[in-house]
Amino acid sequence: MRLYLKTKDFSVTGESFELHLDAALDMLVTHPQPQNLERYYESEAYISHTDSRSSFTDKLYQYIKRYSLRKKTQLIENQIDKSKNLLDIGAGTGDFLIQAKSDGFEVAGIEPNERARTNAARKGIQLQSDYAGVANQKFDVITLLHVLEHLPNLNEQLNQINNLLKENGIVVVAVPNFKSYDAKHYGSFWAGYDAPRHLWHFSKTAIKKIFDRHEMEVVSIRPMIFDSFYVAMLSEKYKGNRLQLINAFLVGLWSNIRAWSSKEYSSLIYIIKKKN
């Protein structure tokens, strides 16, 4: 693998990292990958675990998230039959599971971060810390919403996921796309890299090849339109730009316009099934 670019942890430690290109899979790999990943999540800035609303960016994130959660459950409902047994991996503070439960799903979730599990429990959602808590179950739907890029030991994790999925079930994966216009525009400042919490940085080719190795296939790819604006806002913040909101809106809009033809949106949702 060769060096693709250098970046750093902008939100917690300020440490420097490299992204190496795996040409065979068409994906980037964070280097080095820390042994103690947990400490890189120990910050109020990591909103997925804290539910923070302290800044304008936090409040915007929470507003967009409420809208997006319902759209995600609608997407899932359109892919499955009547059975609604759902596992969310990397469930954070449980908001997606709350939405799915209100839409009639029987839900379970895995979240390794203790603080996030505690926040979820306050909302009435009990999460497992690892796969052992759901080892004897099978699910119609398994979701990894901006989670796959965080998972160490990726091949082992995908084996676990395949074993937990029913034969006619679906896996729903949402990940940033390093082939997007906003990724190229911001380079090392692109918030979608989020090193070292993001260990892997996927293209559409990479997702298809990785799941193919585990006897699963991508059957549909959908854009996440709002992600370009939020990621651009964070990227402008990392650059220290005073015109953060204006620039972020323009870059996010142009990224989506470019993606109408290229299909390389800032983030993508993949619907994945077991091979027949």
pLDDT tens, position by position, 40-87: 987 765 545 445 555 655 666 666 666 678 788 888 888 877 668 999
Would you tell me the crossing angle of helices 227-239 and 244-262 to the nearest 10 degrees? 140
Can you give the pLDDT at residue 69?
80
Nearest to 204 by CA among 268, 274, 273: 268
Q: What is the pLDDT of residue 49?
A: 47
CA of 34: how far to CAs of 109, 131, 198, 214, in Å?
A: 25, 22, 11, 26
Residue 248 has pLDDT above 70, yes or no: yes
**Residue 139: what pLDDT?**
96
pLDDT of residue 45: 57
How many other CB atoms are there within 10 angstroms of residue 242's CB atom?
8
């470019």: which residue's tokens?
258
* φ, ψ for residue 53, nearest 5 deg: -130, 30
Asked if pLDDT for residue 13 goes beyond 80, the answer is yes
Provide the residue type at 72 as one letter: K
Alpha-helical regions (H) of 214-243: 227-239
CA distance 140 to 220: 17
Mean per-residue pLDDT for 124-153?
95
- Looking at residue 86, its pLDDT comes to 96
Q: Are 148 and 126 in contact (CB under 8 A)?
A: no
In the predicted model, what is the mean pLDDT of residues 21-29? 98
- Predicted local distance difference test score (pLDDT) of residue 34: 93
pLDDT, position 81: 73
Mean pLDDT of 13-30: 97
pLDDT tens for residues 169-224? Answer: 999 999 999 999 999 999 999 999 999 999 999 999 999 999 999 999 999 999 99
| pLDDT band (50, 70, 90) for residue 245 | confident
Strands 216-223 and 267-274: antiparallel
pLDDT-based confidence at residue 129 (cuts at 50, 70, 90): very high
Q: Which of 46, 49, 68, 67 is nearest to 57 (CA)?
A: 46
102-122: average pLDDT: 93
- Closest among 265, 184, 258, 173 to 214, alpha carbons compared: 173
> Does the pTM exceed 0.85?
yes
pLDDT at 41: 87
Q: What domains are defined for the chain?
A: 2-274 (3.40.50.150)
pLDDT at 61: 62
